[in-house]
Amino acid sequence: MTYVEGFVAAVPRANKQLYIDHARPGAELFLQWGATRVVENWGDDVPPGEQTDFQRAVQAKDDEVIVFSWIEYPDKATRDAVKARMMEDPAMDTIPDMPFDGARMIFGGFATLFSV
């Protein structure tokens, strides 16, 4: 069943186009290597929570927007192969630097329970 790798990051509002310029070439490589779908989302309605929220999870600053992204793979083995290739393929050197603090990004892999 489908395997998903999800990401949440805080990106300076002024860096929206830089983020797109960074994310699009990576998405194209992931698709070439076996991902079935890459989705990038710019925060539009991300309210603060009572106890925790997206902003606190990534220590967002006032001038930052939450980005919520995911990559779908046919299975975990494909995700693992793409992740390994990402670390060694020289094509990754052509991707512009991250226009945000990657140390505050959270991510993880998820096995799909069901999809409707």
H or E element in which residue 69 lies: strand 64-73
The mean pLDDT value for 93-102 works out to 96
Q: What is the pTM of this model?
A: 0.93
> According to CATH, what is the number of the domain 1-105?
3.30.70.100
Side chain identity at residue 30, one-letter code:
F
Nearest-5° angle of CA 22, CA 3, CA 107?
Answer: 45
- Give the CA diameter of the chain: 44
Q: How confident is the prediction for the chain on average, in pLDDT?
A: 97
Q: What is the pLDDT of residue 1?
A: 83
CA distances from 82 to 32, 52, 94 (A): 9, 32, 17
How far is 61 from 40, CA to CA, in rounded Å? Answer: 20
pLDDT, one tens digit per residue, over 32-49 is 999 999 999 999 999 999
H or E element in which residue 41 lies: strand 37-42
H or E element in which residue 108 lies: strand 106-111
The ranges assigned to domains in the chain are 1-105
Contact assessment for residue 72 and residue 3, using Cβ atoms and an 8 Å cutoff: yes
pLDDT, one tens digit per residue, over 61-74 is 999 999 999 999 99
